[in-house]
Amino acid sequence: MGIEEEQLRCNYSSRPYRAAWSEEKTLVHIRSLEGTHFDPQIVNICLELGLLQNHIKEL
């Protein structure tokens, strides 16, 4: 997953300067970057297989 995974980690984790985002907000943000930062096919496959959601739960 690479970049998508790092985006999840950055947004879904708390930082000293901001609270962690919710799962929903994180996934909406990743969807908004399809075609510009992320390959839409990869994002769709990851969402269909639940890979992004499962990874969020592991963080």
User: Per residue of the chain (59 residues), what is the pLDDT tens digit?
Assistant: 565 667 777 777 788 888 888 888 888 888 898 999 888 998 888 888 877 666 555 55
Q: Can you give the pLDDT at residue 3?
A: 59
pLDDT of residue 41: 92
CA distance 44 to 3: 14
The count of domains in the chain is 1
For residue 52, being part of any structural domain is answered with yes
- Tell me whether residue 15 is in a domain: no
How far apart, in whole angstroms, are the C-alpha atoms of residue 8 and residue 26?
A: 7
- In a domain, residue 16? The reply is no
**pTM score of the predicted model:** 0.65
Q: Residue 14: inside a domain, yes or no?
A: no
Assess if residue 34 is contained within a domain: yes
Q: Per the domain annotation, does 43 fall within a domain?
A: yes
CA dihedral (16, 21, 26, 29) positive or negative: negative
- Give the model's pLDDT for residue 42: 86
Residue 26 in any domain: the answer is: yes
Query: What 3-state class would DSSP assign to 56?
Result: helix
CB 58 within 8 A of CB 8: no
Domain that holds residue 36: 3-9+21-58
